[in-house]
Amino acid sequence: MKFVKAVLLFVCLNVSAESVFAWGTTGHRVIAEVAERNLSKKARKHLHRLIGKEKLAYWANWADFLKSDTTGKWDHTTGSWHYINIPQNLPRPQFEQAVAAFPQQSVYTQIPYLKSKVATKSLPAQERKDALAFLVHMVADMHQPMHVGRPEDLGGNKVQVNWFGKPTNLHTLWDSELIDFQKWSYTEYATILDTKSATEKKNIQQGLLIDWLYESYTLTNEVYARTPFGANLSYDYNYIFVDKMNAQLYRGGLRLAKILNEVL
């Protein structure tokens, strides 16, 4: 009986932890790399003043790594900062109402907060650097569709599926399994994605934060509709969603570049 309880506790803890991860290390680095390649000269100059010669991708996963911190300093950042789980298939007005009514700090509320911290040059450099690392991560999180998922299944964490015969869940599938299946390094991935014209890039960067969030939410609805519980997924699922996943990665990178160009 003690063994069973221990196993259940382990599963619960891992489901809870998984619910706040997004894109996995590769996806976050792809978005950061795309963003860095699209910075203005001014923004690039100020970025290097904050992080030195390190690549932006180096800091892309820092906000997730903090979940292993034992000091308690970052506990307030490791939960709902990374997502906003709301009911699915809502019309746009009801969607916006649900976002506004979300009872916790979320990826939607924290991005403006982090932007203001990075932009405030009177703050200590380390505080701005920390805010920058969070901002890089949260903009990416917002473009992972399962971070705008259903509350009842923790953004797909409770939706069990099989990926090429391997048991996993819908959230993990979109975090890492689909991306890792492409077999690209993060720099190769960024190079493959970053091929749009200046006009096309500008069009992708248009809109407000709520527009970008709704775009992710719309994809989330499609993902849920086409990924039933217990589904056996493989090549056909990749065929259906790879272009949409790549579009989200690229949008995240270009929009992060836009934000950094504004605040740096």
Quote the CA–CA distance of 254 and 132 in Å, as a whole number.
Answer: 16
Range of the domain at 58: 2-263
pLDDT tens digits for range 71-96: 988 888 888 889 999 999 999 999 99
Quote the CA–CA distance of 97 and 238 in Å, as a whole number.
Answer: 33
pLDDT tens digits for range 101-122: 999 899 999 999 999 999 999 9
Quote the CA–CA distance of 136 and 40 in Å, as a whole number.
Answer: 16
Torsions phi, psi for 123 (to 5 deg): -75, 155
Quote the CA–CA distance of 127 and 154 in Å, as a whole number.
Answer: 31
pLDDT tens digits for range 154-173: 999 999 999 999 999 999 99
> Which residue's structure tokens are 């969607």?
95
CB-based burial label for 231 (10 Å; 0-12, 13-18, 19+): middle
In terms of pTM, does the model score above 0.75? Answer: yes
Quote the CA–CA distance of 147 and 168 in Å, as a whole number.
Answer: 17
Quote the CA–CA distance of 242 and 235 in Å, as a whole number.
Answer: 10
CATH number at residue 141: 1.10.575.10
Overall domain count for the chain: 1
- Find residue 211's DSSP bridge partners: none
